[in-house]
Amino acid sequence: MYAVTQDFLNQMKANKRQVSAKCQIDYTNPFMDQSINITTSENANVSYPSQAADSIVSVPHKWASLDGSWALNGSYYLAPTQDLLSQYQFGWWGSQMSGADGSFVSPYPTLTVTHFARPIHTLTVVGDSARGEYPTDFTIDLYASDGTKLYTKSVTGNNQVNWSYALPSPVLDVTKQVLTITKWNIPNRQVKITEFFTSIQETYYNDDIVKIDLLEEREASQGSLPVGNISANEVTLTLVNKDKKFNVDNTQSPLNNLLKPNRKIKLWLGFKSDGEGNNIAETEATQADFTTGTLTNVVSTTSGLQLAKTGADYSKTETTQADFQAGTLTNVVATSAGDLELILPDNNIISPRNSIFSNANIGDWTTFFYYGSSVSAVYDNIDTWNGYPSVKITKSGNGDSGITLYITGLTANTDYIAYMMVNIPISGTTDGNGIIFIVNGANNAGIAATHLYTATNGWKLVKLNFNSGTETSINFRITTGDIPTVYVTNIHLVANQSISGSRLSPVYDISSVGTAANSTISWNATMPANTSLTVETNLSLDGGATWQGWQVCTNGGAIPGITKGTNLSNARLQVRETLSTADTTITPALNDLTVSITSAYSTMGNRVSNIIDLSPVNITTGSSISWNANIPIDTNIMIETSLDGGTTWQQCINGGKIPQISYGDNLADKSLMIRETLTTTDITVTPTLQSLTVQVNHEEWVPLGTFWSLDWDSPDDVLEATITARDRLELLRKGTYQSSTVQTNVSLYTLAQQVLQDAGLDSTEYNIDTALQSIVVPYAWFNSTTHREALRIIAEAALAVVYADRDGIIQIKSFNSVGTDILEITDDDYFLPLRNPSQQSQVSNKIIVNTNPLAPQATQEVYRSNSPITVPANGSTTITAFYNQTPVINATASIDGSPSGISIVSATYYGWGATVKIQNTNSTSTSVTLVINGQPLTVQNKEQYIAQDDTSITENGELRYEYPDNPLIQTLSQAQQIAETLLASVKDARRDIQMDWRGNPALLLGDKVTVKGNDYYVIRQEISWQGYLEANLTGRKVE
């Protein structure tokens, strides 16, 4: 159903009701909203500025004025009164008199027209044709919606009553036009503007409307199965014509020459209260909206209104050198990279004199060689590492060679690490590649450890771990294997001892959190093998007087001692980070650490809105209140309203009426307040009120649709004018869809989009059932046809229906899609008799659906011009060619014989043919033959799917229905889906319903109604209004 208030529904069922009608007709551009607003800087005692936008440019009489021009010779007429404006043109008259030279003084007479964004093609300013007066100097400014000036036209010395100017190019998205007049053609006269901007839209109400007859249907009444239905809803509108406004020979009518086809017509039915009044609609949806009023323990956020927190969320991240330098550091250091690392020992080097080579300590090393090789070791200050000189070991021969250093002063049974920097200036060597040996000091026996180093070019760190066992001295040997040259430096031998260090953070004040909802502590660290990191926290709840003690944390877990509900209003927190390593050459690194504590939500809070004045409504037709909210488990939102300034409150139902406001109430001295109360029993979550809307109506309307006029009839012998109109689907019958190419593996959804967009509709003007996305056609195309016929073919292939809804939106729905709203029609609502025809003509128990699979043929000639085509000298000709068989893919156009000077400069190929532009650069005309080759698609391996119901056949005999041949049904699975779905719906005779009843305009096609305990969905309605409402309804029984 159309969204209406409960009051609207109640009034529709009331024993006594007065249903009102409204009609709006756009007499100028039918495809643009004609709503405009005209304001002026000044007005004479009699002035009708609205006539400056009614398309009438001539004034029938010289209207009398007290400006000294009025001559009592019978040529002047008194100004028309308001009730005569449909017969006489007057326009905008200003109050300021021009000077002796015709000039006005600031502030100048100004006329401003505002409207929805639109392109402006022509500027027009029309003076008073009867008096021969007009502006000579004036300026027109065009503005965008944001106030940006888009265009200015300044005119001086104009000498025409009817001035117009065609813009070189349209000015787009104009929302405001301002005419400023600085000089008039006659001194001592006020401005008189008959026309400035033409846009005619008129609205008619009850007394202006004689009758409305609407026919709307989802399924065309064709006496057959409802497949591929597409129906244009039709309305006949009869208007009062007592002032002859609609007579075609009334040249003074503002509608003269405007009673044409395709004028846009909108219709509504509803309720309108007596007297003057306005609807009031208030929506709260933004952060600024929810900030207004009185807020208690709630806060306005970008998400909506939420419970306030008991405190502030707390977050502390340590990630920079400065962060880690804060606090007390023991044997750790904050690096420039922003990490916390251990300080590695450097004071347990046994042979520090060997860490850096010099000529003096080269002699401490001895050389060795085997098997005819030789070796030398020399000081080298050229190949250095980090500026440190090295020893260059050079060998010749094939045997193992190297150097040895005898080292003493080791401690027995102690772990050591020997490490050095090595550079082998070649790559890809084989066996050996630099081997380090560690042996005892006697007989080359006892402990032994080796490290094989694979040669690469450049300095590398080589390490060797060993235990001294019973030895206190060793031979430190470097062999070169088969490498001719090796550079070594920075040799160290250190005791390998486990070391650790820690950082104690400053004391963090976390009292701003208030009550905690939850907490987390997390970190990122680099942890080499044999290293560790421990993070601990210590919590105080009394400002640091006492502490709970250090507790180990889990990365990503809660902070020990802080759980949901913990009172942190006087809390302090410290963090301790302990780093350890079992390898004195490497350190772990703490990259960053984050402490987060989320404050708990208040358990209850509310917002009381500002006062909403209801007096502009006057007499109300009803009200509604609705809201959108996110309400997690253990939370709630309650909405209440008050009409007595907050003394008493009434709880509201979402989507219901505002308590204590009912149809017919006088709200002249009433005001409304809204209270929004949020609660939670889980302090970690809050409900969120995302938006709230209240509506208090002086009038409430339901649209009957948007239509475009076909015929106008205003006979001279009656004071009525009759217009016949149909909805947008009728317009789609008038447009041609000829841009269809052959598409492969495209969905019916996409095809429908393409047709509608080609017809000029945007995505807000149609709604396609997403079920069509799953129906994919291997080769899809259309012959040149109307947009409406293309939609019909798609609907038939999808087993869908096409219709325009009440808002003018094109709806493409699956055959069996229905609404969820249910309206009960009782005995008091309909007029006897009820009719339940069996609809035998719409029963079939055997459904046959054929496929039309397409396959490409070999490339061949698909078009040749019947006679020579003459292309003019130095000119071009465009040909529209239709293929001999359709559709065709991979088409290519050419000129037979390829004559000199002739070429194809452009070609667009469709499934049905092509448009080809041929150019001739010769100085004489040339006759040519156009040839197009391509691959025709032909139906091959056609299949048939049959769905039948044997029970129905036994009872009723065979009732066969063969589905229409459709080029978009190409697969057996698609044929099966259509046949099975259709069979389930039509295999048995349905007792559908037809009835005359009181009617309800909120009831839509596809809605469900309940009549005498049976459910039906509406497929057809005839709605008639002539001061009262009645309707005829056809419903299909829901099986």
pLDDT above 60: residue 435: no
Q: Mean pLDDT score of the chain, rounded to an integer? A: 87
Q: Decide: helix, strand or coil at residue 775.
A: coil
Residue with token string 């041949």: 965
> Is pLDDT above 60 for 438?
no
Nearest CA-CA partner of 385 in 354, 352, 421:
421
pLDDT of residue 354: 42
- The CATH architecture that domain 314-343+499-599 belongs to is Sandwich (2.60)
Q: What is the CA radius of gyration of the chain?
A: 46
**Which residues of 148-242 form beta strands (DSSP E)?**
149-155, 162-184, 192-193, 201-204, 209-217, 229-230, 234-240
pLDDT at 348: 43
Q: Are strands 20-26 and 201-204 parallel, antiparallel or unpaired?
A: antiparallel
Region 713-720 average pLDDT: 88
- Model confidence over 148-194: pLDDT tens digits? 999 999 999 999 999 999 888 888 888 999 999 999 999 999 999 99
Q: Using an 8 Å Cβ cutoff, are 626 and 654 in contact?
A: yes
Q: Is the pLDDT score of 494 beyond 80?
A: no
- The tokens 């086809």 sit on which residue? 261
Could you give the dihedral angle defined by the CA atoms of residues 315, 318, 323 and 325, in that order, rounded to the nearest 10 degrees? 130
Judge residue 277's burial from the number of C-beta atoms within 10 Å of its C-beta, 0-12 exposed, 13-18 middle, 19 or more buried.
Answer: buried
8 A C-beta contact, residue 265 and residue 237: yes
| Range 35-199 classified under CATH 1.10.490.10 | no
345-350, long-range: CB < 8 A, 24+ apart: 345/494, 345/497, 345/499, 345/584, 348/494, 348/495, 348/497, 348/584, 349/492, 349/493, 349/494, 350/407, 350/409, 350/410, 350/493, 350/494, 350/495
- Range with the poorest average pLDDT among 6-15, 336-345, 421-430, 871-880: 421-430
The pLDDT tens digits for 54-69 are 767 788 889 999 888 8
- State residue 208 phi and psi, 5-degree precision: -90, -10
DSSP alpha helices (H): ranges in 759-816?
A: 787-798
pLDDT in tens, 276-315: 788 888 999 999 999 999 999 999 999 999 999 999 999 9
Output the six-digit token pair for 166. Answer: 């065609």
Q: Which two tokens stand for residue 124?
A: 């027009």
Distances in whole angstroms, Cα of residue 181 to Cα of each of 37, 101, 152:
19, 14, 14
pLDDT(76) > 80: yes
Confidence check: pLDDT of 932 > 90: yes
Burial class (CB in 10 A: 0-12, 13-18, 19+), 716: exposed
Quote the CA–CA distance of 87 and 78 in Å, as a whole number: 14
Q: Look up the pTM and report it.
A: 0.59
Architecture of domain 1-21+203-273+698-842+993-1039: Roll (2.30)
Sign for the CA dihedral angle at 821, 826, 832, 833 comes to positive
Predicted confidence (pLDDT) at residue 40 exceeds the cutoff of 50: yes
What tens digit of pLDDT does each residue of 368-400 get? 666 556 777 777 777 777 777 888 888 777 766
- φ, ψ for residue 113 (rounded to 5)? -115, 125
What DSSP string describes 884-910? Answer: SSS-EEEEEEEETT--TTEEEEEEEE-
Q: What whole-number percentage of the chain has pLDDT above 90?
A: 56
pLDDT in tens, 784-808: 889 999 999 999 999 988 989 998 8
Q: Which of 169-173, 594-598, 736-740, 840-844 has the lowest mean pLDDT?
A: 840-844
Tokens (6 digits) for 560? 């020990």
Give the span between the Cα atoms of 774 and 974, in whole angstroms. Answer: 10
Q: How confident is the model at residue 455 (pLDDT cuts 50, 70, 90)?
A: low
Domain 352-495 has CATH 2.60.120.260: yes
pLDDT for the residue 373: 65
pLDDT value at residue 470: 78
Do 179 and 125 meet the contact criterion of CB atoms below 8 Å apart?
Answer: yes
pLDDT at 629 over 80: yes
